[in-house]
Amino acid sequence: MAAGNAPDEVLGATNTATLRNARLADGRLVDLTVPGGRIAAVAPAAGTSPAATGPAATGDVDLQGWLVLPAMAEPHAHLDKALTAELVPNPTGDLLGAIDAWVAAAAAGRFTHEGTVARATAALELLAVHGVTAVRSHVNVTADVGARSVVAVREAAAAFEGLIDVQLVALCGTPLVGPEGAPTRAALAEALAAGVDLVGGCPHLDENGDGPGVIKICLDAAREAGLPVDLHVDETLDAGVLTLRHLARAVVDRGFDLPVTASHCVSLGVQPPAVQAAVAAEVASAGISVVPLPQTNLFLQGRDHPAATPRGLTAIAALRQAGVVVAAGGDNVQDPFNLVGRSDPLETASLLVMAAHQLPDDAYDLVSNQVRRALGLEPVTFAVGDPADLVAIDAPSVRAAIADAPRSRRVFRRGRLVASCDQQLRLHR
C-alpha cells in the first residue's frame, strides 16, 4: 500500500514515552507524554532536539507536526462477510438480494474456516492501518452454520490482541421465535459457549413478523449470560416499521440494565419530525445507543424510490438532540451488502458530511469518541489520564483529513505504535 511522505522512525514493539511535535485539532503543537498507555502530560512542544531524534535511544517519536486525533473505532462490522464481493455477487443490489445471495453461497459450501479466517484477518489489518483501535463485529449465527463463523472470526481476532479491541456479536438468524426457531436458539447457545461478547439479531426481519418476540428472546438470553445487546433494527425505508420504539419500551419495561445498541434504524429517518423527537426521547430514556451505517444503507436502500430518493440514514439530529449516543460505522465492506468500502472510518465521516449534513468535527467525533462510548470504552479528550489511543495523520485539519483521507498515518494503542502507513503497509505486533 503506497503512501506519501512520513516520519521515518519505526517504533517496533516498544512503548512510547513521548509523542513530540504533535498538532492537536485546535492547532496547538504539543508534546504528549504517554508512559503506561495513558496520557500523563500535555505540554507545549519543546522542539526537536538533535540528541532525541530516534525512538531507539529515547522512546520518543517526533511526529513533525502531524495532526493527532483520538483513534477511530468501528462500531458495526461484519468480519465474516468482509471482502466476498467477487465470491458472492448481488445482481439486484438491494437488501433481500444480498441476504438471498449469502444464503445461497453458504448452502453451496463456498465458505471455509480457513477462508473466513483469512478474510477477517485482512479486514482487521485494513482497519488497523487506517487508525482503528476498537471494532465490534456482528457474526452470523444460524441453524445451519451454528457457531462456526464465530470460531473463525475469534481465531482471526486473536492475532490482533494488543492491537485492536475486538467485540463479537452473535447475529442470530431467522426464525428465532417459536418451535421453528429452536435450531437458531440452539445455535445462539453454541455461540455463547464459543465466547461472543454480545447478543444480536434482526427483529424487523423475523419471517413470522414477531419482532417483539425476537427482542424478548435476545434480551432474555443476554440477561442470562450477563452480556450487552446489539440488534439490527429497522433497516428499511418503510415508515410503517418502527421496531426501535418497541425495543426502547421493552428495555424499560423489562428493566434490562445492560448496554443496548440499535444499529441502522433507517425508518426513523423517514418519520415526521414530531415522531422522530418522540421516539428519540424514548430511546434516550432507555439508554440505547444508535449506530447509523451510511455506506451500506445508502447502497441498499431507496432503490424502489426512483424520484426524490430518500437517504438510508436514521434521524441523527433528533437522536443527538435527545441525548442519545450516536456512533457511526462502516458496516459491510466489499461484500454483497456493500460492493465497495475501504475499511476506513474517514470514508464514513465523509459520507456523514455529505449525506447527513454533519460538520467535519462532529463527523469525526461520530467515528471516534462516540463509538468508544457506544462500545463501553473511555473517550480520548487529551486530558491527563485518558487512554493513549491515538492516530497521527499527515493532514492540516480534521476537515482536510476527512476530505483527503491521507494514507500517511501512525496508529497508537495504549501508547504503543501498532500500525503505520507510509511507503508501505506495516503492522507492529
Which residues carry out catalysis?
Answer: 235
- Residue with cell string 443490489: 93
Round to whole Å and give the CA distance between 139 and 121: 14
Other Cβ atoms less than 10 A from the Cβ of 52: the count is 17
Buried b (16+ CB within 10 A) or exposed e, 81-110: bbbbbeebebeeebbebbbebbeebbeeee
Buried b (16+ CB within 10 A) or exposed e, 253-288: eeebebbbbbbbbbbbbbbeeebbbebbbbbbebbb
* φ/ψ (deg, to 5) at 157: -65, -30
- Residue with cell string 445482481: 91
Round to whole Å and give the CA distance between 396 and 78: 32
Instruction: Compute CA distances 11 → 322, 366, 418, whole Å.
Output: 43, 29, 9
Round to whole Å and give the CA distance between 172 and 225: 15
Round to whole Å and give the CA distance between 142 and 8: 47
Residues 6+ apart with CB under 8 A from 299: 93, 312, 337, 338, 339, 340
Round to whole Å and give the CA distance between 301 and 235: 8
| Amino acid at the residue 55 | P
Helix-helix angle 243-253:273-286, to 10 degrees: 30
